[in-house]
Structure formats: C-alpha cells, structure tokens
Structure 1
Amino acid sequence: MQLSRNLPRFVGSCAIAGVLVAGVLAPVAMGAGVLSNQVSDSVDGISASLTASQQPLVTTVTDRDGNPIATLFDQYRIPVTYNQIAPTMTAAIVGIEDRRFWSEGGVDPKGMVRAALHDSSGGATQGASTITQQYVKNYLINVVDRTDKAAQYADRADTIARKLREAKIAVQLGQTQSKQDILTGYLNVVEFAGNIYGIGAAAQAYFHTTPDKLNVQQAALLAGMVNNPNLYNPYTHPEQALQRRNTVIDAMVTNRTLAAKDAEAAKASPLGVIDNGPDIPPSTCMGAPADAGFFCSYAEGYLQQAGFTADQLATGGYTIRTTMDPVVSQTVKNAVDANVPTTQDGVANTFAVISPGQDTHEVLAMVANRNLGTDPAQGETSTDIVSHPSNVFGAGSSFKIFTSAAAMEAGKAGLNTPLPNQGGHCFVQPGANKYTPPYCIQNDGLHYPDPISLRDGLATSPNVAFVGLEQEVGMAAVLDMARRLGLRNTLTTNDAGATPDPSSSNPQYSEPQSQYFQNKLSFTLGNSPVSTLEMANVPATLMSAGKWCPPNPILSVTDRFGKPVPVKQQPCEQVVPPGLANTLMAGLSQDTVSGTSAQAAHAAGWTHPDIGKTGTTQESESVAFVGGVDNYAVSSMVFADGRHPEEICPGTPVHLGSCGHGAFGGTVAAPPYFSAFNQLLAGKPDVPIPAPDPAYLNAH
C-alpha cells in the first residue's frame, strides 16, 4: 500500500515539523544538541545584520542644477512606504504567499505541519514559509550576503538548521515590527527578475507606474513573479506568467479580497506590460547623455580617490550633485561635434572647461566628439578620454607655457627678454655623453626674428627660442613647473600614457614622464601623452593668481536620508606668485590677436580679451588650444585616436589624410572654442586680462 511505503517518510516529516515548531515556540525544548548550537550561534548575529544592513539603493548623479544625468546601482530599487503601495498589491501578495499573514506570528506552525505531511506523501514539495520568513531569507540573500556567494548558498540551503534559524529570526521580527512594516520591507527587498528589486522598481519597469496605482491584474502579475522571477518573467515566459497571474487572482478571491466577477474581468485582460521591457535605467555612467558621460565617469573616479568604494557608490543611494554646467556642457559638445563628427574615423576632439578660483577649480564641462560607451562603430569609447592622458601624441607647443613660467620664476627671462632664435639649431641634451646625438630643431617657417622677445615668442611660437630657453632653465625646473601648474596625474604616467611598467627594459614604458623627460629637450614641444582636463587646469591655475586646486567635479554628496556626506579634496596650493601668473597671462593674451590663432579668431568674429596658446605636433597627429576667457579656463585637443594614426587635415569635417601641410592648433583645435564661447559670452561685459607685474618683465 502507498501508506505503508511512505510511512517512514511520514514519521520523519512529522518529526521534522515537530522540531521546527518546538524550536520556534520553545527553543529550550531542543536541549543542547548540535542543531541547537548551530542555530543559537548564528541567530543573534544575523538579527544584528538585518538591523544594521541597509538595502542597496540607486545613486543619482546630477548636474549643478540638480537635473539627473546618470544612475549608478547594483540593484535597481525604488523604496516605498506602506501607504505608497496599493491595497491590490498587498492583497495579491498575501493571497498567494501567506493568506494567514495578518493573524499569524512570524511563523505558521499549521503550515509547517501541513507541508511536512504533504511532502511525506511523495507529491511535489510544499513550502511552509510565511512572508516574514521570506522577508528574512530575501534580506539575507539580497542585502546582507549579496557579495558572498557561499553565504547566499547557505541562505538557500534546504536544511533544518537553515529553516529553523530563519524561523527564529522571523519570530523576533514579528515581536518587534508591525505587520505593515514587515510586508513593506518584504515588498521592498524581493527580486522581480533580472536586476529589478522591490515593488517600486517593478511597477516602474513593467508598467511605467507607481505601486500606489497598480490595478488587480498588474498587482497579481508582480505578486506571482516573486515565487520564481525567471519562470514567471512576462517577457521570456509570457504563458507561464499569465497562468501564474490568474492563479494569484483566484487566490485573492479565495482570500475574500476580490469579488469573483472582478476576478473574471481581470483574468480576461492581457498581461499589459510595456513593450520591449522591462524598462530599467542604465546602471553606469554609460547611460548618461552624450555631453555628460565623461563628466560622470570622472566624478565617479574622483569620489573613489576621495575614499568612496565602487560598491558604496553603486548601493549607497547617494545623490551626487556635480559641478557640471548643463548650458556650458551642451554648447561645447555641439561645437566639437560640428568640428569633428562623432563617428569620424580616427579623429577625436576632446574639450574641458574649468572655472578658476582661490578655493576650488570647479569643472564645468568634459566633452568630446566621441561618447562614453562600448560601440566603436557609433563613435563610442569606454575610456574617459577627457581626463585620462589619452592624447598620446601630446599638446604640442602649448607646453611652452611651462618653460616660460619656469624661466620667469628663475629670473632667466621676462616678457621683454630677447631669446636667441636661429632658424635651426642643434642642442646638446642634458646629461649627454660623447655618444649622445644632439637634439636638432628648426622653426616652422623663416619669418621669425632673431632674437625674439618672450612676449612675441608666446604669440608666434618659435621652436628654437623655447628649446634654448628650456636648456638654460634646466629640465628639472621645467618638469616641476608642469607638475605644479596642473599636470599632476599626467606626469605619473609613462610615455605611452599608461601606468609605468617596472618590468620593461625600455625607459619609455618603465619610467614616469617626470623621470623620462629629465634629459629630453623635446618636452617643451609637447610630444608626450597628456590629459585634456589637466591641461585645462593649467590656465585655471594662472587665472587663479597662481593658485592650483584639483579639478573638482563635486558640489555635494548626500546620503539616502538627505544628510550631507563630506568629500575629501586635495588642498589647493599657491604654486607661483600672483605677479608671475598675471605676467604670463599678459604674455598669452596676444595669441588670438596677432598670434597663431588670430586668423581663426578673426574668421569667427572673436573680439573678447583672452589668453591662449596653440600646439601642433611635428606630424600633425595632434593639435591643441589651451587658454581662458572671462571665468572659463579651457583646453581643446584634436588628435588621432584610431589604430592607424595619420596626419590630421583641416576641413569640414576635420579628417585624417596626407594633406601636405596638416592641421594646426589655431586652425583646427581653436575653432570649437571660438564657436562655443561666442555663444556663452554673448551680451556679457568683457573681463580684462590682468596687467603684468614689472618684476617679471625682464631677466634678473
């Protein structure tokens, strides 16, 4: 007979049920056995973890005006209160998961016995967990142990010890929390397939609604999913999802929370989920708008350097208000896209804007013609090419700013100082021996005077004069000035723009730039990898009267409760005297008037007083414009970024090719600056350039 065959199993199941019930209602009855020890040793600790562990929430990144630009999360969750959940939803979940929820304790002894008897008959295994027990289990899996696969496995293990531990914690919760709080907690923590957690996120993702507006069929579908989110996923298994939804609706009728006639109407309706769903926002900065992706990535990295972990940012439910100016950012983005289209093969145009200041240098925009993403065919890149030293070809003659500042500080030259400037010259490299070849350089053209003043040299950029000045000042001083004015991270990378590799026998890869260029006079001609963002911080330092501050993308961070969270920042430093900074700015004030970008400035109708320095590498694989106007410090760089770099050619659009005489900083990198800031400064009064300090006009 069937009964005799199943009798041992029946007796065993009854014994298990008795142990569970007795263990929950009278723990002392268990004695001092191994099972009791396993449970007692862990319950208190787990109960404490349930109290201390906060549910992972979505972190929101905004611009300076509070407009969201991105979400960061590990679990997509929108927490809600009990009053924000429709009665249809609470009725549906109670009807299908735990119909005695409102009257029972944390566990249901009758259910345990019923499940044990049913299991002993050889049929499908029945669960006996109450919603409170399920809350405990889901909280352990999805919150407390979410990063520990082994612990999650134990949380799911089909053992008496696990079930008893879970039940005891459920009893404790039942004694300390209201039914409404338990049900709300459960609905906020449970998974609804994929990366969707909690009823708030589920209502949005599947129906584009909020939990308080869920109708019967919507609530029933979601309530049915929690039993097996993958099997009852309405997009991948619509038939099973429909059957499960209708089972929930029938359970609501059985539980007398839904009239039979209303149930039939609800069961006759389609699933009703949104098309092509579920609709889940991107969980990284790659979901940001085109003009905000690199900014968001930089802000995320900045906070990690300040002590936030990646997991904290993805789960903390922070609101990160950045310094990004949406008007400046979009205007500059439009300008670079017009200059070099997003999908233009092999050509990148990066652009950064920083607001100078004595206490902070706020980053206002970080854009490129490329967008942050993973599809190169769409002009996307996963590297933050604005903040990283991704321009591996260099910023060209804009590096002459560093040589000029170092010379002025050392008293080797002032703006009026005449500099030797032959048409071509060979220089002895620092630290050279008899086997070291000389460094030979020529000016680009024959129109330069010899000698030439430092002031005119900054405007017209002769190579020979600045290499000679660099040799006189010394590489150590020039490299240190570059670091002080802004290239803090750039100079720690190697000559390929990457982290130095000590195992390499080639100094180009094993040494940081700060060391590698100690004996190379080419540094002032800007032939080394450089960050567009850090290069924008160079004029920001000068415009701040010689005060360097880190490029700061953060206005504030608040936690999930709205409480401010402090963000550590490197202290600002007075790196050069105000007089030197103002004098160098005066020397840079002629570039758009009579210097290397004057022709492009005139074509753009540019009339604003500003500072600027262009740069062009020898093979025109990179061109740059670095400068500032009003309260904006800028850096625009156009460089080859493909696998087969070539000469950059001017045109509409800018492109790669063999054009004989390639692009220049003034003709290709400066135009986006003129275009964007003609718009941004329209109708605003001009801000004059500070007068030079007489102490820095002549050598001494």
Structure 2
Amino acid sequence: MPKKRSGGGLTGTQQAAKFLGISVLSGAVLAGIALPAFGALGLAAKGTVKGFDEIPANLKTPPLSQRTTILDSKGGLIATVYSRDRTVVPLKEISPHMQKAIIAIEDSRFYEHGAVDLKGVLRALNKNATSGGVTQGASTLTQQYVKNVFVEEAGDDPDKVAQATQQTLGRKIQELKYAIQVEEELGKKKILENYLNITFFGQKAYGVEAAAQRYFSKPAKDLQVEEAAMLAGLVQSPSRYDPVNDIEEATKRRNIVLQRMADVRDISPEEAERAKATPIKLNVSEPKNGCITATNGAGFFCDYVRKSFTSDPVFGKTKEERAKIWYRGGLTVKTTLDPQAQKSAQRSIKKHVYKSDKVATAVTIVQPGSGKILGMGQSRPYGYGKNETEINYSVDKKLGGSNFGFPVGSTFKPFVAAAALEQGRPVTQVYPAPYKMSYPDSISTCNGTWRNDGGDVLENENEKEVGPYPLKKAMEMSVNTYFVQMIEDIGICPVVEMTDKLRVFQGNGDKLPVEPSALTLGSDGISPLTMASAYATFANRGTYCSPTAIQSIRTADGRSLPVPKSTCEKVMSEQTADTINTLLGGVIDSGTGQSAGLTSRDNAGKTGTTDERRNAWFVGYTPNLSGAVWVGSPTQQVKMTNITIGDVYHSKVFGGQVPGPIWRDAMNGALEGWDAPTFNKVSIPDPPKPEETPDGDGEDNGGGDGNEGRPDDGKPGDGRPGDNGGGGNEPWPGISVPSGQTGGGDNRGGDNGGGDGSGD
C-alpha cells in the first residue's frame, strides 16, 4: 500500500487525480491519448471514452450564438433578438490591454506551454497540498475554450448544460484531448480570439464586444487598461464580481488583475498603481433584446417574422433544426415592413382606440401583386404587463395569433358575390331580400345538401331594408337576406371553391364550416392578415398573392439564405375582380362605408358587424394597398353597445363607424407620396323600372303591386295571389330573377310562386 503523504494523506498522483476530478488506477496509462503532463503521473482511465479519433469540425470554428438584426424594407432597425447577446469580432478589434489582461489572470504562460501546462499543474498540486484542499486550478485558456464550446453547444437546455460541465472522467479526458488538437489546428492567436468571443462576462453579455458595450458603452477595441482588467476579472465569477451590483468586490478583483499584469510585466508597477487608484466608471447600456424592444409598434410583426422562420421548411427540415439556426443568430433579416405604413397604422390606432379600452383593434396592410406585409399593429402593445399581450390579433394561431381569429361579419359578402359572378350571374342580379326570412330549407354543397334542420332565421340590420334589391344596392346597404338568397341560388360549393382559392380559412387553419351563416354572413373567425390578402386579390384584378414578411437573410459570414417567395395565382377573371371593385367602391361612395372614404384616389371596401356587436370590421383597398381593421374584444366577451372607445361614446358600433375611420387614417398616411392609379371599373346599369300595373285581383295572371316592392321605396304591395303568382314573372323588365322568387314574393300563393305581392 502507498504511504500517506501531506495534503490530506494523498499521494501526488492521487492529488493530481483529485485536482482533475477523476479516479485512478496506479501504473496504467491513458489509452490511445498522448497527455505529456499526466502520462508521467501514471493516470489511468476508469472505464473507456469513445469518439476521440476525430475532432468535431465545429470545435475549431464553433457557430457562436450572436445577435440577429431585424430590419424594415428601408434598412431601418426594427429589433435585435438573441438567445445570447454576442457580437463576434476579430482579434485586431480587441484592445491589446484586454488581450494581455485575460492572459495575465487566466493563463500567464499561454504563449509558452502547449494545450496542457505541466508547470501549472505541478504548481496547483503543490498549492493544494499545502492548503490541504483543492484551492487552485490549472486549466489553460485552451482547455477553458474547449469547455465553453461544449456549454455553447448545449444552448439553454439545463440538462445539456449540466452534461457539458459535469466533472467526470470522460469529460475531463475529452477536454484534454480536444485541447491538444485545437492547439495543433488553430494556433495561439486564433484560440485567444475565439476565447474572448465565447466567454461569458455576466449581465447577459457573451464575448468581449458585448461586455464592453454592456458595462462601458464602447467597443472592445477602445478599452483602457483599467476597464480591460475589470472585464478580465469577471471571467472567474461573473456574479460575484459584477460591478453593477457590487462595485467594491469588482474593484478588488480588478486590482488583482492589474497587479498580475504588473507581475508578468505587461504593464509597469507605476501604471498598475495609477490604474488601481482609478475608480471604476461604468456607463451601462441596458441590453435591448427581443421583439418587445421593436420600434414603431412593430413587436407583433417582429414576432411574426420569427415564427415564420421557425415554421417554414425552406429554413430547415425540422422545427428543431430551424429553431437552432434562429437562436444561434448572427442573421441580418431584411423584412417587407414599410416604415411609413407602419408609423401611419400605429398613429391611427393610438388616435382611435386606447390601450386601456375594453376592446382592442388590429390593423394589417399588404401590397396587392407582391403579398408584402407593409404594416401590422394593434392597440394593446407587445409585452407582458397590464393591457399588453404577446398574442398577435392580426394573424393565424400557428404564427402567434388568437385561437380562431375573429368573426368577420359582412366583410365576407364580396366573396359570395365574386363566386356568383364567376358562375355567370349578372351584376344586375335581383333577389326579393325581405327584412326577415328563414334560412332556405336546403342548399346544395360540393358533396351533398345542407339542410336547415333547426329552422334558423335571419334578418337585416334595419326593418326598412326590404327588397327586391339588385346586387349593387344590396352590397352598398349590406343586405343579409339578399346574400343568403344568392348562395341558395348558386349553391355553397362555388363559395367554398372561391374562398379556398383566396386562402380564406379559420384562424386555427381549419376550413370554414359548410353552412350559409359562415359562408355568407362571416360567422366564423378569420384573421385580419387573411382578409387583407384576400381583398388584395380584387385590387390585383383577380390574382391572389400569398402574404410574405421576409425579403432577404444574410448570415454572419456574409452568405445569403434562400427565403420563401410569395406565390401568386389567378383565382378569378379580371372582369369579376373589376366588378367587385366597382361594387365596393359604391359601399364607400354611398353605402355603409362612407366614413372610411379616401379623397383624391380610387378606393373600395366593405363594412362588417357581427352578432351582438362583438366584432366590427372594415376591409378596404386601393390599387396600391389593401388593409384590414378589426375592432372587438379578444375574448369575445364585450358587446359594443353604449361603449366608449378612444374617448368617443357609441350607442352602437358599426363597421363603418369605428374601424372605417381607423382604416382611412392609416391608409392616408401609408399612401402619402404614392401614385394614385385607378381601378378598371365596369358599368353597372340601374335596373329598369316596371310599367305601372293595376293591383292584382287574384286572377290567373294577378300579382299587382308586388312589382312595386322596389329598393327605392321599399313599400309592400297588396296584390292577392293568383294562379300564376302575384307580382308577375318580370318584376323589373329585362332583369333575370331565379324562378320561385319573382315579384319579390315569398313563394306563397299562386301556383307558380310570386306570393302575396307583399314585396318581401
């Protein structure tokens, strides 16, 4: 048995083993590894370590996590995001004082020894033996660098970090082996550069450049000797010597570093004393990390960019792979966000809806023809405090939005009209459109028949809204019963096909329910971005372009990454799109959207209000831009009656009343300085008025006054049913009307319908 020695009764070999944190078997050598310092001491591995034949390529030049910079379309900064605040710089951009300070305090013989410092180990062993414990280490800068690489690759996963720092035989041997090979591959200068860029300096600052900015608000190349000494002193224990929280401890540690620099003759004793006498003068810069720091209210857009990156296979096969690239950082992401449009949207939001209001608003602006998202904001800021949220009300759930989006109400009606026009219905199409009616008993679908088993009824907003109406008037007045009769006429399938081509889906990604309330009156949740993009198709004369937020991405080493492009597809004829543009222009000129109208340029749009006024919308566009505005309670719990929004009282909120002016003001500012192209409008003739006809008396061709249930007077007729139906077969001469709906009747009465001449 070996004799007991000083240092806790351990032999020199055992002390070396304890120092290294490993177990030993006397007389063996480390299998397959040339370790000059420890082979002589007779260290042996208890067990085996695999995988030492090849050094990992990323150990020599590890992909260090850095800041990612997100820019708007003009190159302006939106935000910087990072998992670790780091800016990698070359050695020539690091102060010589900093280089000398870190070597002096961490590894003063760095340029003299190899990967393992035998003298340092022996010195540590002697010190530890004298003190009776393990008080001094002997890791070289190279060994520390290797350990830091393992920690860096572990990321923020606590289990992986623990594995990377565990004091096991395998880990120690692995570090030593890699340190030897790194010395051979990189050389001293590159190792020092990598070390200074990877090391943690406290206060969320990784690498010396971030640390210099954090503590002194200056680049690392401008560090003075006393500043460099303070930073070098942090490496041993960033929390203990943190100057922000304990200036006294930080000063003591800095002075130790300065003395060590004098001892190794990096500075003179006089320089050291002068530096020691200089108080630490911090100029702290708070780290600005994440989308919460985004300018011009673009936090939600910033987060949308992040989620778009991590969800798009173009950036990596798996979500984990994409997330690793994003959080490694070092990217410069140029986005589509237009600073003028974004500022205008936020200015309008703040003017009309307050952060503290019971309801919120979201505004999204896209460019027809390109799909570029130019603006995205909302009244409740991006954040975690009161009346703040991380939920992006403008987008679908998978990209940060609410669960289902928000019911869109009558802003859905243009999709029905477009489907009908594509089916060959004339723009002068007339339907009876009574004030109140039951949903049709049945409506054909793509795969069968929808049936009104519950006997559901619907009504118009106003009791005076009584047909018959042509399409133009029905769109301007947003007549519910008209569009339900339209979908009964054409069937549900053409509307489903149209909305599928326009990518109009629920906020959770599901297709819309196959029922008339969803596919006519917008009863289901859809996101503002989806609506703005769909309406942009009308402005783009029938070509849909998918929304996109990223223009280009450049990596830290200057490489360009492929980015997803907007895909454009013709989904309706130019004639149909031009007709919708004309119809929706009428909504602004003389319909429910008059308060949203822009001056001096063509514009079109549609209002929408849902049941119990829980949601109000305006979606509108010019040939240049398309924008959607939603107002409501994110939880759908607030009925917008007798409510104050932005210091303005409203007995009832309408789509044209609150969302409309928000859209108007946002678009006015966004379009300032833009050209003002015009739509290709179509001519929509007024339906000819019928000749005067005596009141029906119930004879075979009776009908009488059913012909007078015109939208211009809305008066019911008093014709009595006859064999061929009250109201006649031609309520407005020359205008086609589906059979069974002639004369504005409700299909009661005569053998061929037409009804009681009531004009319903």
TM-score after normalising by structure 1: 0.87
The equivalent of 1:457 in structure 2 is: 474
Cα distance in 2 for residues equivalent to 1:469 and 1:304: 42
1:475 matches 2:492: yes
CA offset at residue 132 of structure 1? 1.2
Map 1:148-297; keep pairs closer than 5 Å.
149-274=158-283, 277=284, 279-282=286-289, 284-297=290-303
Match of residue 743 from structure 2: none
1:439 deviates by 2.4
SS of match in other structure, 2:80: strand
Partner of 1:622: 615
User: Which structure 2 residues correspond to residues 58-137 of structure 1 after superposition, within 5 A?
Assistant: 58-121=67-130, 122-137=132-147
- After superposition, residues 441-452 of structure 1 pair within 5 angstroms as 441-448=458-465, 450-452=467-469
The answer to which structure has the higher helix fraction is: 1
CA distance in 2, matches of 1:617, 1:15: 75
Please list, as runs of the form range in 1=range in 2, the aligned pairs for 1:324-343 lying within 5 A after superposition: 324-343=337-356
Residues 1:582 and 2:584 aligned together: no
| Equivalent AA in structure 1 for residue 233 of structure 2 | G
Q: Which has the higher contact order (CA 8 A, sep 6+)?
A: 1
Q: Which amino acid aligns with 1:334?
A: R
On the 8 A contact 2:614/2:636 being kept in 1, the answer is no
Partners in 2 of 1:37 and 1:681 — Cα distance? Answer: 70
**Among candidates 667, 674, 680, match of residue 677 of structure 1:** 667
| Aligned 8 A contact 1:23 1:30 in 2 | no
Out of 680, 688, 691, the residue aligned to residue 690 of structure 1 is 680
Sort the Cα spacing of 1:440 and 1:15 in 2 relative to 1 into closer, same or farther, 3 A: closer
Q: Residues 445 and 111 (structure 1 numbering): CA distance in 2 closer, same or farther, change over 3 Å?
A: same
What corresponds to 2:524 in structure 1?
528
| Partner deviation per Cα, 1:282-316 (whole Å, 9 max, x = no partner) | 2x322212421111121222222322422321213
Tell me what 2:363 maps to. 351
Aligned equivalents of 1:90, 1:404: Cα separation in 2:
72
Matched, 1:593 2:589: yes
Instruction: Confirm whether residue 664 of structure 1 aligns to residue 660 of structure 2.
Output: no
1:10 maps to a residue whose letter is G
Q: 1:642 to 1:14 in 2, by over 3 A?
A: closer
In the other structure, the counterpart of 1:420 is 432
Q: CA deviation at 1:258?
A: 1.5
Identity %: 30
Number of the residue aligned with 2:707: none
C-alpha contact 1:589 1:612 (8 A) present in aligned 2: yes
Aligned equivalents of 2:437, 2:392: Cα separation in 1: 39
Instruction: Return the alpha-carbon distance in structure 1 between the equivalents of residues 204 and 378 of structure 2.
Output: 31
The match for 2:416 is 403
Aligned residue in 2 for 1:301? 307
Q: Which amino acid aligns with 1:629?
A: T
* Contact residue 359 and residue 645 of structure 2 kept, 8 A: no
Partner-residue secondary structure (3-state), 2:541:
coil
In structure 2, do the counterparts of structure 1 residues 434 and 134 end up closer, same or farther at CA, with 3 Å as the change threshold? closer
Could you tell me which residue of structure 2 aligns to residue 553 of structure 1?
Answer: 549
CA distance in 2, matches of 1:445, 1:457: 13
Distance 1:35 1:278, change over 3 A: farther
Deviating more after overlay: 611-620 vs 23-32: 23-32
Q: Secondary structure at the match of 1:74?
A: coil
TM-superposed CA distance for 1:251, in Å, is: 0.6
State the distance in 2 between where 1:683 and 1:214 align.
46
CA distance change for structure 1 residues 349 and 424 in 2, over 3 Å: closer, same or farther? same
| Counterparts in 2 of 1:33 and 1:651: CA distance versus 1, 3 Å | closer
The CA distance in 1 between the partners of 2:589 and 2:230, in whole Å, is 69
Identify if the C-alpha distance between structure 1 residues 683 and 43 changes in structure 2 by more than 3 Å, giving closer, same or farther.
closer
- Deviations 1:93-144, CA, capped at 9 Å, x for gaps: 01101111122222211111221222233144211111111111111112x3
For residues 40 and 292 of structure 2, the distance between their equivalents in structure 1, rounded to whole angstroms, comes to: 57
Structure 1: how far apart are the matches of 2:8 and 2:372? 75
Per-residue deviation, 1:323:
0.1
The alpha-carbon distance between structure 1 residues 650 and 536, as it changes in their structure 2 partners (threshold 3 A), is farther
8 Å Cα contact 1:622-1:648 kept in structure 2: no
Aligned partner (choices 597, 603, 614) of residue 610 of structure 1: 603
Distance in 2 between the 1:369 and 1:401 partners?
Answer: 27
Per-residue deviation, residues 435-469 of structure 1 (Å, max 9, x unmatched) = 92322222222444622111222222111111111
In 2, the alpha carbon distance for the partners of 1:36 and 1:180 equals: 35
Matches of 1:434 and 1:302 in 2, distance apart? 40
Q: Which amino acid aligns with 2:483?
A: F
- Residue deviations 1:366-411, cap 9 Å, x none? 1111211111x2x311111111364855121111011111111222
TM-score (norm 2): 0.80
Letter in 1 for 2:680: P
**How many angstroms apart in 1 are the aligned matches of 2:458 and 2:55?**
72
Distance 1:158 1:617, change over 3 A: closer
Coordinate RMSD, CA, aligned: 3.1
Q: Which amino acid aligns with 1:383?
A: I
- Contact (CA 8 Å) 1:429, 1:519: kept in 2 or not? no
1:498 aligns to what? none
The SS at the match of 1:667 is coil
Residue equivalent to 1:25: 36
For 1:476, give the aligned amino acid: C
Distance 1:8 1:523, change over 3 A: same
Q: Which amino acid aligns with 2:88?
A: P
Structure with greater Cα Rg: 2
| Residues 571-615 of structure 1: per-residue CA shift (max 9 Å, x gap) | 3322222222122112111121111121453xxx73421111111
- C-alpha distance after superposition, 1:238-282 (max 9, x if no partner): 3322211111111111111122222222222222223xx562122
1:558 maps to a residue whose letter is R
Amino acid aligned to 1:218: E
Q: Name structure 2 gaps, 5 residues minimum.
A: 21-26, 316-321, 444-448, 688-734, 738-760
1:8 aligns with one of 7, 10, 33: 10
**8 Å contact from structure 1 (residues 415, 455) kept in 2:** yes
What SS does the corresponding residue of 1:626 show, helix, strand or coil? strand
Is this contact kept in 2: 1:486–1:541, CA < 8 A?
no
- Listed as ranges, the gaps of 5+ residues in structure 1 are 494-511
Q: What secondary structure sits across from 1:140 in the alignment?
A: helix
Q: What code does the residue aligned with 1:611 have?
A: A
- 2: CA distance between counterparts of 1:52 and 1:180? 13
Q: What CA distance in whole angstroms lies between the structure 2 residues aligned with 1:269 and 1:285?
A: 38
